């Protein structure tokens, strides 16, 4: 017998990067076909590409791959006739090829391009009970038809002009520039799609989308020629009968942006405001199957004093007075899916380290019924009989898998969920996960529970306590409740660390008051909660309190920077894409309007990590991507120069320093390529090994023979 745990994919970064990653689901209107997208590593291991897979809704047959395009396929959706539509670029169209909509006929045959637009198509929305299909496509402001759009695009590309003339805000989004084109909604024109084929059992669906099939390409009619930037970041839905659409529509005034819901008549393009609130953004419209109601999510406009509230509402689809669903519910709805008889909705919402599915009735004031126990659910779809739902479920114990939920009354949460046969197996973990909690007392005397996930290596024990890594989540309005490929604790667990994933003040799933305690005061309760959670696990005999590190990304990087300036209890701090100087972050992020609502100059001054640089006595690894527009590179650059010049551990005269800066010239807020993700984990692990374990790791050659990670 040996205590050495069996090797898992988390022990080897190449194996980890090769794990397939499940995406969104689509269910055919008859409920008989379930399709999932899944990303897998390409043969040259430098990108992931997505393919569509058919999943047996009964859980009997193995998953079957449907598409094999060289450039990948995504955004699956079924038409009323059962054809599968998806978005993909055409093979052979070159590097600047634009995605278009493909049709894979229900009756068999080759997939072929159904609709294209000169600027590409980003999403497709078929009606569930009519031959109407909407698409969302980026369009130039001066384009009046496809010919003028092509002419304008040609003028820019042939003259190699990338300049964009703005007259308002926003100008960037996450990792790309906004403009000069912007999304508009189009209806696909033409005769009804050809009926399904000869009843072939579908084997032909495995055909590759290599060559266009039938000569059936369709044109489009612009439903929103005057959209301007109103549909940037919009969510939209089409009614089952295909007669109208509802979209979130943004208006801009200076820096301020606000969204309301519009109803658009598909036949005429006539548009009218369905519901508008002065004090909230309205998004995520979902039209009831009977066409009578529109459900949506309202996110209140914040102020420096007041945190947002997210609530679910319904309004008659023809307009009228909105009504709040589950009015006393102290949870934030994340997604809304109607039941087929329009009697209510399935709603996901964060709760205590999970994101379960709840059933919410349309009428009455019954409390939402929590249907599931473990995990975070997404991509929820319901079969036409209303007896089962399908969803993806992940947690920190498992990447996303496809599950079927039995919607019958009286079923226990455990019995309700059945895991379906997905394209890939659940990977073996290198350790175990515990749900831990501690109690904190705020300066006003109120007490709160701070709960965390603690991932422990298999061998951790009193005789062999594990070094501790505190990993802080971003947002900050979020929760460690779903698997993340970006922030994966198991890689560090496989290297012997216990990883603590706390949900401090500002986290979601614990009620409004828990968010409010950290609002506008990021360095107070969120920080003290994190320290309290760390104190509590350091009491355990299977955790080694003398070897510890803290890390975080994005807002989690802000907190890592704050930690570095406020305690020297950790041996190392890793900060990725982090907010450093709040005086500059607010105006330079792509979402300035969002942050400036919360941040006063006083708050920025009081809670800015850069003001405490002189107190930093912990080696720091700074990581930033140049194309990060959410937390712009100026944060990383200023952090780096101030660390070298002004921290309590400045660079020596010969330039040597304990700090490190891992800079990605062509990555953004996320590290999107496999090879760069591998370097990320290698450098993080090497830096922690040096400072926490006192060990040296060799850096990979791809870093050009750089000196040690620590």
Ligand X SMILES: CSCC[C@H](NC(C)=O)C(=O)N[C@@H](C)C(=O)N[C@@H](CO)C(=O)O
Please report, as ranges, the residues that interact with ligand X according to CB under 6 A. Answer: 474-475, 477-478, 553-555, 591, 594, 630-631, 669
Q: Burial-class residue 236 by CB neighbours within 10 Å (0-12, 13-18, 19+).
A: buried
Q: Which is nearer to ligand X, 244 or 332 (CB)?
A: 332
Whether residue 505 contacts residue 559, with contact meaning beta carbons closer than 8 Å, is answered with no
Whether residue 560 contacts residue 551, with contact meaning beta carbons closer than 8 Å, is answered with yes
Q: Which is nearer to ligand X, 610 or 630 (CB)?
A: 630
- To ligand X, the closest distance from the beta carbon of 520 in angstroms equals 14
In sequence order, the β-bridge partners of residue 36 are: 25, 53
- To ligand X, the closest distance from the beta carbon of 669 in angstroms equals 6
- To ligand X, the closest distance from the beta carbon of 581 in angstroms equals 14
Angstrom distance (rounded) from CA 342 to CA 236? 18
Angstrom distance (rounded) from CA 369 to CA 377? 15
H/E element, 678: helix 674-688
- To ligand X, the closest distance from the beta carbon of 636 in angstroms equals 13
**Residue 74 is encoded by which pair of tokens?**
């995504």
What is the b/e burial string over 357-386, where b = at least 16 CB atoms within 10 angstroms of the residue's CB? bbbbbbeeeeebeebbeebbbbbbbbbbeb
Nearest to 500 by CA among 461, 459, 552, 541: 552
Q: Which is nearer to ligand X, 506 or 616 (CB)?
A: 506
In sequence order, the β-bridge partners of residue 338 are: 345
Angstrom distance (rounded) from CA 85 to CA 78? 6
- To ligand X, the closest distance from the beta carbon of 506 in angstroms equals 9
- To ligand X, the closest distance from the beta carbon of 551 in angstroms equals 12
SS3 call for 534: helix
Angstrom distance (rounded) from CA 575 to CA 676? 16
* Polymer length of the chain: 710
Q: Which is nearer to ligand X, 331 or 388 (CB)?
A: 331
Whether residue 709 contacts residue 594, with contact meaning beta carbons closer than 8 Å, is answered with no
Angstrom distance (rounded) from CA 351 to CA 514? 12
Nearest to 564 by CA among 519, 625, 614: 614
The arrangement of strands across the sheet holding 84-88 comes to 74-78, 84-88, 100-104, 112-115
Q: Who contacts 113 (Cβ-Cβ below 8 Å, separation ≥6)?
A: 90, 100, 101, 102, 103, 212, 217
H/E element, 639: helix 633-646
- To ligand X, the closest distance from the beta carbon of 487 in angstroms equals 7
Q: Which is nearer to ligand X, 607 or 630 (CB)?
A: 630
Peptide bond into 285 cis (omega under 30): no
Q: Which is nearer to ligand X, 224 or 554 (CB)?
A: 554
Angstrom distance (rounded) from CA 677 to CA 16? 10
Angstrom distance (rounded) from CA 241 to CA 409? 29
In sequence order, the β-bridge partners of residue 550 are: 470, 573
Whether residue 159 contacts residue 153, with contact meaning beta carbons closer than 8 Å, is answered with no
- To ligand X, the closest distance from the beta carbon of 227 in angstroms equals 21
Q: Burial-class residue 608 by CB neighbours within 10 Å (0-12, 13-18, 19+).
A: buried
- To ligand X, the closest distance from the beta carbon of 518 in angstroms equals 12
Q: Which is nearer to ligand X, 239 or 355 (CB)?
A: 355
Angstrom distance (rounded) from CA 708 to CA 693? 14
- To ligand X, the closest distance from the beta carbon of 695 in angstroms equals 29
Q: Burial-class residue 560 by CB neighbours within 10 Å (0-12, 13-18, 19+).
A: buried
Q: Which is nearer to ligand X, 133 or 334 (CB)?
A: 334
Q: Which is nearer to ligand X, 257 or 371 (CB)?
A: 257
Q: Which is nearer to ligand X, 220 or 668 (CB)?
A: 668
Q: Which is nearer to ligand X, 139 or 554 (CB)?
A: 554
Q: Which is nearer to ligand X, 152 or 622 (CB)?
A: 622
- To ligand X, the closest distance from the beta carbon of 594 in angstroms equals 4
Q: Which is nearer to ligand X, 288 or 554 (CB)?
A: 554
Q: Which is nearer to ligand X, 65 or 638 (CB)?
A: 638
Q: Which is nearer to ligand X, 216 or 233 (CB)?
A: 233
Whether residue 581 contacts residue 631, with contact meaning beta carbons closer than 8 Å, is answered with no
Whether residue 632 contacts residue 623, with contact meaning beta carbons closer than 8 Å, is answered with no
Whether residue 162 contacts residue 656, with contact meaning beta carbons closer than 8 Å, is answered with no
Whether residue 307 contacts residue 317, with contact meaning beta carbons closer than 8 Å, is answered with no
**Residue 261 is encoded by which pair of tokens?**
């819901």
Q: Which is nearer to ligand X, 240 or 284 (CB)?
A: 284
Helices 525-538, 555-566: axis angle to 10 degrees equals: 70
- To ligand X, the closest distance from the beta carbon of 276 in angstroms equals 21
Look up tokens 């291991």; give the residue: 45
- To ligand X, the closest distance from the beta carbon of 682 in angstroms equals 20
Q: Which is nearer to ligand X, 545 or 591 (CB)?
A: 591
Whether residue 315 contacts residue 324, with contact meaning beta carbons closer than 8 Å, is answered with no
**Residue 364 is encoded by which pair of tokens?**
């009455």
- To ligand X, the closest distance from the beta carbon of 488 in angstroms equals 12
**Residue 479 is encoded by which pair of tokens?**
């929760």
- To ligand X, the closest distance from the beta carbon of 557 in angstroms equals 8
- To ligand X, the closest distance from the beta carbon of 579 in angstroms equals 7
- To ligand X, the closest distance from the beta carbon of 480 in angstroms equals 11
**Residue 294 is encoded by which pair of tokens?**
């529109």
Q: Which is nearer to ligand X, 240 or 667 (CB)?
A: 667
Q: By Cβ distance, which residue is nearest to ligand X?
A: 474
- To ligand X, the closest distance from the beta carbon of 479 in angstroms equals 11
């Amino acid at each position: 017998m040996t205590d050495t745990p069996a090797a898992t994919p988390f022990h080897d970064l190449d194996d980890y990067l090769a794990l397939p990653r499940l995406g969104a689901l689509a269910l055919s209107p008859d409920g008989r076909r379930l399709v999932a997208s899944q990303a897998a590593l390409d043969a040259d291991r430098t990108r992931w590409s997505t393919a569509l897979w058919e999943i047996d809704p009964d859980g009997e047959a193995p998953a079957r791959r449907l598409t094999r395009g060289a450039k990948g396929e995504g955004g699956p959706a079924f038409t009323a006739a059962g054809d599968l539509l998806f978005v993909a670029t055409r093979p052979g169209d070159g590097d600047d090829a634009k995605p278009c909509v493909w049709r894979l006929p229900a009756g068999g045959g080759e997939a072929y391009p159904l609709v294209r637009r000169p600027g590409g198509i980003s999403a497709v929305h078929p009606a569930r009970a009519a031959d109407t299909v909407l698409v969302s496509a980026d369009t130039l402001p001066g384009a009046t038809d496809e010919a003028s759009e092509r002419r304008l695009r040609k003028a820019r590309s042939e003259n190699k002009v990338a300049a964009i003339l703005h007259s308002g805000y926003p100008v960037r989004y996450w990792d790309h520039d906004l403009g000069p084109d912007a999304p508009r909604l189009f209806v696909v024109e033409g005769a009804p799609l050809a009926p399904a084929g000869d009843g072939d059992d579908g084997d032909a669906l495995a055909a590759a989308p290599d060559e266009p099939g039938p000569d059936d390409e369709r044109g489009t009619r612009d439903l929103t020629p005057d959209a301007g930037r109103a549909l940037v970041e919009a969510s939209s839905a089409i009614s089952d009968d295909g007669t109208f659409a509802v979209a979130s529509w943004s208006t801009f005034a200076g820096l301020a942006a606000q969204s309301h819901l519009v109803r658009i008549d598909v036949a005429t393009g006539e548009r009218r405001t369905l519901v508008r609130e002065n004090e909230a953004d309205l998004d995520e419209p979902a039209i009831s199957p009977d066409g009578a109601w529109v459900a949506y999510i309202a996110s209140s406009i914040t102020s420096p004093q007041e945190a947002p509230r997210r609530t679910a509402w319904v309004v008659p689809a023809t307009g009228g007075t909105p009504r709040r669903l589950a009015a006393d519910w102290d949870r934030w709805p994340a997604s809304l899916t109607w039941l087929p008889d329009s009697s209510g909705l399935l709603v996901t919402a964060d709760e205590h380290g999970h994101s379960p599915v709840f059933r919410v009735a349309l009428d009455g004031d019954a409390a939402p019924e929590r249907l599931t126990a473990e995990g975070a659910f997404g991509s929820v779809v319901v079969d036409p009989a209303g007896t089962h739902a399908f969803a993806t479920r992940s947690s920190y114990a498992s990447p996303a898998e496809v599950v079927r939920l039995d919607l019958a009354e009286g079923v226990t949460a455990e019995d309700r969920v059945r895991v379906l046969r997905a394209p890939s197996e659940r990977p073996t973990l290198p350790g175990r996960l515990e749900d831990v909690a501690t109690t904190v007392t705020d300066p006003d005397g109120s007490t709160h529970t701070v709960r965390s996930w603690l991932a422990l290596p298999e061998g951790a024990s009193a005789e062999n306590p594990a070094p501790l890594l505190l990993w802080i989540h971003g947002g900050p309005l979020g929760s460690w409740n779903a698997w993340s490929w970006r922030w994966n604790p198991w890689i560090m667990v496989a290297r012997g660390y216990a990883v603590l994933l706390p949900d401090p003040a500002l986290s979601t799933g614990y009620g409004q008051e828990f968010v409010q305690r950290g609002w506008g005061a990021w360095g107070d309760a969120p920080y003290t909660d994190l320290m309290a959670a760390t104190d509590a696990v350091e009491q355990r005999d299977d955790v080694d309190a003398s070897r510890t590190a803290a890390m975080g990304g994005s807002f989690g990087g802000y907190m890592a920077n704050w930690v570095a300036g406020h305690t020297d209890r950790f041996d190392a701090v890793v900060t990725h894409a982090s907010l450093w100087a709040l005086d500059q972050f607010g105006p330079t992020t792509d979402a300035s309007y969002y942050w400036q609502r919360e941040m006063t100059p006083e708050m920025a001054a009081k809670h800015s990590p850069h003001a405490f640089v002189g107190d930093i006595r912990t080696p720091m690894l700074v990581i930033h991507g140049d194309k990060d527009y959410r937390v712009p590179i100026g944060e990383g650059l200023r952090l780096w120069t101030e660390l070298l010049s002004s921290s309590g551990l400045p660079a020596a005269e010969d330039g040597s320093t304990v700090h490190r800066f891992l800079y990605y010239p062509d990555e953004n807020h996320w590290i999107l390529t496999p090879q760069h993700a591998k370097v990320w984990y290698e450098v993080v692990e090497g830096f922690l090994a040096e400072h926490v374990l006192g060990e040296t790791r060799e850096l990979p050659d791809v870093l050009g023979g750089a000196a040690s990670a620590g």
